[in-house]
Structure formats: structure tokens, C-alpha cells
Structure 1
Amino acid sequence: HHCSIGIRLFLSLLVLAFIRVSLLPNGIAWS
């Protein structure tokens, strides 16, 4: 079950990063 939680957190971080890139043209520069 711990693995599933880690995967969910990892996916959530990817989604947030994707949203940043989508909203900000230069979002990649921030990371």
C-alpha cells in the first residue's frame, strides 16, 4: 500500500508540474 501512496504523490507532482508548464510559457525555467 505504501507503494500506491508514493505513486499517487509522484503523479500529483507530475500533474502540478504539467499545469505550471501549461500556464506559464517559461515554466520550465522555474524548475
Structure 2
Amino acid sequence: IISDFDGKVKEILVKKNQEVKEGETLIVLE
């Protein structure tokens, strides 16, 4: 996963008030 894209996904999750931990974005993208 590209770091910049991964970061954007995390930003979206944070905006939805969800706790984001390292690796969780992988599950979201799946």
C-alpha cells in the first residue's frame, strides 16, 4: 500500500471518529 494513500484512508477513518491503529487500514481496504 502506498504510504500517502494509506494516510488518507486513516484520515477518513479519524474524521468518522474511529480509532485507527497500525494495520487496521489493511482490513478496511480488503
TM-score normalised by the chain length of structure 1 = 0.49
Which has more helix, going by share of residues?
1
5+ unaligned residues in a row in structure 1: which ranges?
22-26
Q: CA RMSD in A?
A: 2.8
Paired residue total? 20
- Between 1 and 2, higher relative CO (CA 8 Å, sep ≥ 6) is seen in 2
**Structure 2: segments with no counterpart, 5+ residues:** 20-27
Larger Rg: 1
The two structures have a TM-score, normalised by structure 2, of 0.51
